[in-house]
Structure 1
Amino acid sequence: MNHLAANMRSSIVVFLSAVLALNACAPSETAEQKTQRERAKAGLALWEQKCKTEAGEKIYRRVEDVEGITLLKVRPPAGENEWHDRMWPGAAFAHEGTAEEYIKDFLGYEEAFGPEGKPSPITPTARGAINTSYKAGPHERPGYRYVDAIDEKDGRRYRYSGSVKVVGQKDQTAPGIVDEMKNEGDRFDPNVYRWTLDKTYAPDPAPRYAVTYEDHVVPEERALGVASSTVKVLDIQANEVLGELTVFAFTYGFESRGSSAWLRARICPTYGGGSGSPSRLFTDQVLVPRKDN
């Protein structure tokens, strides 16, 4: 938290310095500009307070070797209209995947690379990115083997999983493939593989563990450009909350159309190093996915 606090203070100093610089350079300030500046300053102060007192993670119980989970809600698609909407419910998780991409986040494996493209260690404070690209062999940090979710169109529970399928053949006349054929000899594989999302009717019973989220739309906070949301990990059978992650976002500039204000928001905590998969990267700390064989 000390590192997070330092980053927050640094961001705040930079922001306020920019505000002061603008004030010094501007020969005059309209009443509307003054109102916007004061609102942004108040919003930044509120966000800083929330980051210190309410944001962060709480893990009450950890469960190992989990095969599958239920997503009680899936984040709906979002675009420019939502990113610019001060009251958009999903604002605090603006960079997270939506619809099927949200589901894929829980199925993909985690990996991290350093500046030279070499694998780098993954630690609680230095997480990687979620990937679903085809990669042969077992993964050190796999996702869940399946994810159940309710389809809003028909109200049925479906089971999603990922599998690698042959989707084509390599062009054996291409220079790179010719070299590969020479080097591999009898081991050459002409197939092109791709990870794909599979969807089937979910069998009973439903998974014991589930994930949901609660987006908070507090008018007084949204007026100042502050949004928040809480991810909850649940044991349905025991009716128990296993963990919670609360995120706060702050932004400004809603007066400028097309600003995608929420995509520029400051976030605390920046779970997973600010990746686009904070819900997954928190959930797998509570419900640890079963390792690949």
Structure 2
Amino acid sequence: MNPKRPSHLFAALLVIAWALPVWAYDPNNRAEYLAKIEEAKAYYQDKCEKVAGIKIYKTVPEVEGLLLMKIRPDRSDRQLADPMWPGAAFGGEARGDSYIRSFLGYEHRAEGSKHRGYINTDKRPGALPGYRWVEIIDPKDGHRYRYSLAYKEVTHISSMSIGGNGKPFTVKENTLVKTPSPSATPPRYAVTFEDHVIPEERALWVASSTIKVLDLKTDEVLGELTRFAISYIHLPVHSMPWLNHSICPNQNMTGDSYSTRQFADQILMPKKED
């Protein structure tokens, strides 16, 4: 037997104790768990009343395109269960190319509905158009590129799992096209976001983020949306809390995939099609 082992164990436990944040609690202790839930709800409700909200200072009609200063990056299941994940407040939003397409797609709203419609690239009668193009600075080469939609022939493989024959077939689709920007100057209007990672807030499974719409020519903020999100799953086992959360303010949307687009287009109103 090694007589030094107990002291080594005590030292290790002491280090772990010092490493724990002051707000740590035992989620397996029901009393502590329920107390933390109530603390989180009170914090979230206070922020919803005093901080969260939609502010529109100025609107611009007939906007053809804009600059996306940031893109929502792809996410993993692990991130959706991570209380410190930066993108948590917009956990359900489209990512990567889908985020870009959300600004270019058509909105399909049910007749008479008070809610915003879903967005896809299908052009149908009554659909509301998105922007003609968006521009993005590629971090790999620092160059600005323009993204737009164009009908092109796309090859797919017929899935045998749903009764297909496993063979390729070609259809015309409204696809995302990337080209170097034709303009020497960047677009006048831009959309960006800032995800807030506040440890005390995240300890309660509360996340916040702010979207801003900018006029780069006048250096004005045309509008901003500050969102708070809360997940009541404090012990995420085989779960993705940031897809099962409540948010404020309410944007009257169908789903949460197009939140940024459906805020931006209230300020920078897409140009109507001829």
Find 1:282's aligned residue among 263, 267, 271. 263
Rounded to whole Å, the distance in 1 between the matches of 2:41 and 2:239 is: 18
SS at match of 1:285: coil
Q: Does 1:251 align with 2:231?
A: yes
Contact 2:107 / 2:118 at 8 angstroms: preserved in 1? Answer: yes
1:99 aligns with 2:96: yes
Please point out which of 179, 190, 196 is paired with 2:175: 196
Q: What is the correspondence of 1:74-223 to structure 2 with a 5 Å cutoff? A: 74-113=71-110, 120-121=111-112, 125-133=114-122, 135=123, 140-167=127-154, 192-203=171-182, 204-223=184-203
Structure 2 equivalent of residue 54 of structure 1:
51
Offset of residue 53 of structure 1: 1.2
Overall identity of the aligned pairs, in %: 47
1 CA distance for matches of 2:65 and 2:121?
Answer: 17
Given that 1:165 and 1:193 are in contact with CA atoms closer than 8 Å, whether structure 2 keeps it comes out as yes
Tell me the distance in 1 between the aligned counterparts of 2:210 and 2:240.
22
Report deviation, 1:154: 2.1
| RMSD between superposed Cα atoms in Å | 2.0
Change (3 A) 1:31 1:198: closer
- For residue 238 of structure 1, what is the aligned residue in structure 2? 218
The structure 1 segments of at least 4 consecutive aligned residues displaced by more than 4 Å after TM superposition are: none
Match of 1:262 in 2: 242
**Does 1:72 pair with 2:69?**
yes
Counterpart-to-counterpart distance in 1, 2:146 and 2:69: 12
Distance 1:279 1:121 in 2: 23
Letter in 1 for 2:226: T
Letter in 2 for 1:275: D
Structure 1 residue 30: Cα displacement: 8.8
Q: TM-score, normalised by structure 1?
A: 0.75
**Letter in structure 2 aligned against 1:257:** V
In 2, the alpha carbon distance for the partners of 1:206 and 1:241 equals 17
State the secondary structure of the residue aligned to 1:40: helix
- Find 1:36's aligned residue among 21, 25, 33: 33
Q: 1:30 to 1:266 in 2, by over 3 A?
A: closer
Distance (Å, rounded) in 2 between the aligned partners of 1:255 and 1:147: 40
Equivalent position amino acid for 2:210 in 1: T
How far 1:202 sits from its partner (Å)?
Answer: 1.3
Unaligned runs of 5+ in 2: 1-25, 156-169
TM, length-normalised to structure 2: 0.80
Asked if 2 retains the 8 angstrom alpha-carbon contact of 1:86 and 1:223, the reply is yes
Per the TM alignment, residue 226 of structure 1 is displaced from its structure 2 partner at its CA by 0.8
Structure-2 separation of matches of 1:32 and 1:154: 51
Q: Which structure shows the bigger proportion of residues in helix conformation?
A: 1
Deviation of 1:142 after TM superposition, in Å, equals 0.5
1:272, 1:281 within 8 Å by CA — same for their partners in 2? no
